[in-house]
Structure 1
């Protein structure tokens, strides 16, 4: 069975998007070691999982980045399979996208059971909530940036039950980012 892993970068105040879904602040936290981590994770990915808003942000950036300084990351962002959950959008012009308007818990449970390389969820706080409630995440990888966004979208939204996690790794990165990896307590 493959794992579902959350990978996100957020400010110290728990927000991963600023006002108006702005993610431009992430460029200030990006460094060579973040790129190396992204490449390492890209090798382990079987597919990426997005909600519709995160898909739209990613789809507007990565195809154009294929010929720029982010070409290494853009390659796997553009070529890997992407599973997008949306109640309103039925198709995408980005490569290798499968759209779902079904129950994300049932669909992710099915995709995990298929086996293969791991599934990685990026951004997508609204999508993450029911997956957290269903205890489907095997691991949380969170990069904490030295920044207080003040306004914007929190990564973790309220859910019904407490989740106890176990620290797998705490690693300082360049630009004062700290990578935290947590796994489920079984």
Structure 2
């Protein structure tokens, strides 16, 4: 069975964007770019919330030399699944809308043959996925910054969940990857 994991940058005080909605505080260096290349090579698809999808769909099809060749290729080729009840059409290559029943759609994706799926989402989609109990792992890139406000990573209601630390990685920048498996794993 495939696994679905959340992969998201977060500030030390729990925000995924600042009060202006910007994410320019995320660190990015050669080590992190290599990590992203490896991550994209290891998955068989990406899941997005509508907002993240629309932002990424506006950027990636015309991304230039500022991204690696691996990232440009994988962001184009990989299947993209969108959690949205309002989006009716998606023009980005290999995009599939999951429709009005995200729990069923994600459960079906997990049952298909293939490798893991990464949920690259905003706060609302991440909270929804946690609430639905479809995540097998949460991979948080904790950036060494305090934002003092913005959109919280998990801002809503969801059931209490026990997590188990699966692995960590410290980047030279001071950011930390913290990977937690759900108790069901």
**TM-score (ref. length: structure 1):** 0.91
Report the CA distance shift for 1:160/1:140 in structure 2 as closer, same or farther (over 3 A). Answer: closer
- Identify the residue that residue 14 of structure 1 maps to in structure 2: 14
Greater per-residue helix proportion? 1
Superposed CA offset, 1:38-95 (max 9, x none): 1111112111000110001111221221x31313312211221100122222112221
Shift of 1:173: 0.3
Report how many aligned residue pairs link the two structures. 183
1:94 maps to 92
Matched, 1:70 2:79: no
Tell me, in whole angstroms, the C-alpha distance in 1 between the residues paired with 2:67 and 2:97: 26
Deviations 1:155-180 (A, max 9, x none): 11232421111111121102111111
Which of structure 1's runs of 4+ aligned residues deviate more than 3 A? none
**Counterpart-to-counterpart distance in 2, 1:6 and 1:34:** 17
Give the aligned CA root-mean-square deviation in angstroms: 1.5
Q: Does 1:141 align with 2:150?
A: no
Deviations 1:125-181 (CA, angstroms, capped at 9, x unpaired): 212223212321111111000112222211112324211111111211021111111
2:44 counterpart SS class:
strand
Alignment-derived partner of residue 24 in structure 1? 24
SS at match of 1:6: strand
Deviation at residue 97 of structure 1 after TM alignment: 0.9
- Using the alignment, how far apart are the partners of 1:74 and 1:163 within structure 2? 35
Cα displacement (A) at 1:9: 0.8
CA contact (8 A) 1:12 1:145 kept: yes
SS at match of 1:19: coil
TM-score, L = length of structure 2: 0.92
Unaligned runs of 5+ in 1: none
| Conservation of the 8 A alpha-carbon contact between 2:16 and 2:122 | no
Specify the SS of the correspondent of 1:147.
coil
